[in-house]
Amino acid sequence: MSAAETAQLIEDTLRDHEIEYSRDTPETFVAILPGERKYRTPVMLTVSEPGVRFESFVCRKPEENADGVHSFMLRRNARLYGVAYALDQMGDIYLVGRIATSAVSADELDRILGQILQATDDDFNTLLELGFAGAIRREWDWRVSRGESLRNLRAFAHLVDDEDAQARVAESE
């Protein structure tokens, strides 16, 4: 399959699955996968003669416990299909993968995009807890001090040394 045919297959698959996307160049797509924990997961698909490259930003470089975050990513890589956790030169976390042109099909694209969505959504809060617990606590305290909503922090209430944490989350909903 040529690069142009592969690009057309990607566009058809994204459209058929009603996935929001843009086509930045003839060989580059950015698909937006809707999630629950991570609300939007952008995935860049780059087409070339050898195949398709997938790249999805997960979260920025951990502020703390980098060894714990990296250990989690390595263990998780053993259970992922078609993609793996990786770091860029700044230490930010991505899911990346490649498939050969001969393996590209609508079903394979669906499977890999599904794996990216599942991994990002399932792992997002764990990565935040491991690498940003201090920032989460500071954000919690700041919101409490200003009377701001804690709704989108409810998954992290267990990180806060506050006897009323669960009650405050319930009140903010």
| Residue at 57 is within a domain | yes
| Residue at 160 is within a domain | no
Position 111 scores a pLDDT of: 96
Position 171 scores a pLDDT of: 57
Which residues of the chain register pLDDT less than 70?
162-173
| Residue at 155 is within a domain | no
How big is the CA angle at 52 (ends 47 and 53), to the nearest 5 degrees? 105
- Please give the Cα distance from 58 to 109 (Å, whole number): 19
- Please give the Cα distance from 105 to 95 (Å, whole number): 20
Position 43 scores a pLDDT of: 97
Span 81-130, pLDDT tens digits: 999 999 999 999 999 999 998 899 999 999 999 999 999 999 999 999 99
Position 57 scores a pLDDT of: 96
Residue with tokens 């989690």: 72
| Residue at 98 is within a domain | yes
User: 45: which 2 tokens?
Assistant: 């698909």
Residue with tokens 């045919």: 5
| Residue at 157 is within a domain | no
Domain coverage including residue 96: 3-133
Position 144 scores a pLDDT of: 87
Q: How many domains are there within the chain?
A: 1
pTM to 2 decimals? 0.86
| Residue at 170 is within a domain | no
Position 166 scores a pLDDT of: 54
Position 173 scores a pLDDT of: 52
| Residue at 141 is within a domain | no
The CATH number given to whatever domain includes residue 21 is 3.30.1460.10
